[in-house]
Amino acid sequence: MRMTASFHFLTTGLLAVTLSVTTSLQAAETDKAIEPADNGWKGALELGISNTTGNVETKSANVGLQLNRETLPWRYRVAAKASSMDALGTRVSEDYLLDLQADYVLPNKNYWFGYAGYDSNKFASIDSRYVEIFGYGMNVVDTPKQKLDMELGLGGRQSTFTGTLGDEKGAIGHIGVEYSLQLTDNTKFTENLVVQPGSANTFTMSDTALEVGMSKNTSLKLGYSYTNNSDVFPGIKKTDATTSANIVIGF
């Protein structure tokens, strides 16, 4: 599919900003090397279910898994999610997500990253969608209570739609923001925002959560997830929003 002039301008601008920031930051770096370290794999399992009876019968379930490992200067992240909902015995929602990311951390805590992602939501006519991104991440704030990372990147997206709707391929940009704030000793607020503009569609995702620790490895997580596709097929809504309450088990 042909790219628009505005998309060319956006991707060129993103690349220019990324290279400019990288050059200036690398020029300011010291020669101090990062000491190798391996903390092993750490992770968290999220579980949430609900069951409503009466005038309307609904059942919903969601499960999430996140794994992290640091073998500095390398850092790895794996995330997977699945959710479904049935109403009156009929499946009305079902989606899957898988994220893989590897970071090469620089002495100033900024990093180069490579990302690969997969998602599927047949009720939004998306049979499968693959994304590959390469870019640069900036460690903007890093204190005991607050952390803020920002990412800029370029890559590609390949989508296969349900039925006879065909498929779509194209280049995309990537803008990412990840923020966390430790409100109290056992309460943390997090926000993860991703915007991926392309010539045919701009994908936006936001995950907002408040996590309250209940024990050393268990917490309650209240979340609000928002996804938006700027261009959809007739009869498909552009925005999906989910409010959830999950139990998180760390390990």
Q: What is the total count of domains within the chain?
A: 1
pTM of the full structure = 0.80
Q: Which residues contact 235 (CB under 8 A, 6 or more apart)?
A: none
For residue 37, what pLDDT band results from cuts at 50, 70 and 90? low
Return d(Cα 76, Cα 248) in angstroms, integer: 20
**CA triple 213-216-220, angle to 5 deg:** 25
**Could you list the residue range(s) of the whole structural domain that residue 152 is in?**
5-250
Q: The domain that contains 114 carries what CATH number?
A: 2.40.160.40
Q: CA 174 to CA 156: how far, in whole Å?
A: 10
Give burial (CB, 10 Å; 0-12/13-18/19+) of 96: middle
**Average pLDDT of 170-176?**
97
How does pLDDT run across 124-164, given as a tens digit for each residue?
A: 999 999 999 999 999 999 999 999 999 999 999 999 999 98
pLDDT (tens digit per residue) in 50-97: 887 776 788 999 999 999 999 999 999 999 999 999 998 899 999 999
Q: What is the pLDDT of residue 112?
A: 98
Question: Cα angle vertex 93, ends 51, 191, to 5°?
Answer: 90
Please, which residues have CB within 8 angstroms of residue 225's CB and are 6 or more apart in sequence? 205, 206, 207, 208, 241, 242, 244
Is pLDDT of 13 > 90?
no
Residue 114 has pLDDT above 80, yes or no: yes
